[in-house]
Amino acid sequence: MSAKQEFNNRISAQRAILGVVNKKKSVAEELFSLSSKAIDRWVSENRLDPHSQLVNLVREASGKLFFLANKSQEEISEEYRLVSSEVAAICDAIAEQMR
């Protein structure tokens, strides 16, 4: 996988998760990104239960994506693929929660 694909996939993965979360229009404010500060704001502005399954899944996805961005972890392609598939699974789980 080229560096270009990796970079844009990380953005794409984030966009996909945000798309699922933000599909629900009944909240006061959208989730802007998967940075921890953006998640904190989303939880606070929408008065979400910080211990709910949805919030936990979003934080888990955030952690995985920051792992992908963390260049100190040895970038073994097998490990990268594993994390990518875990992010995809979390995205599916979030979609379930949003139903």
Partner 1 sequence: MTHIYAFGSLCRGDVTRTSDVDLLAIVDGYDERFEPEMFSIYSYSRLREIWAEGNPFAWHLSLESKLLHASDETDFINALGRPNAYDKCRQDCEKFADLICQAEESLAGGNASIVFDLSAIFLGIRNFATCFSLAILQRPDFSRHSALKLGPKQLEIAPDAYATLEAARILCTRGTGECLTTERVDLTKGEIPRIRAWTKRLLEEIDEREAGI
Q: Where does this chain bind partner 1 (CB under 8 A)?
A: 3-4, 7-8, 11-12, 14-15, 18-19, 22-23, 25, 29-33, 35-42, 66-67, 69-75
Measured from the CB atom, the residue of 73 and 85 that comes closer to partner 1 is: 73
In angstroms, how far is CA 68 from the centroid of its own chain?
11
8: number of Cβ within 10 Å? 12
Smallest gap from Cβ 68 to partner 1, in A, equals 10
Minimum distance from CB of 86 to partner 1 (Å)?
A: 16
| 42, 31 contact by CB (below 8 A) | yes
Please identify, using beta-carbon distances, which residue of 4 and 51 lies nearer to partner 1: 4
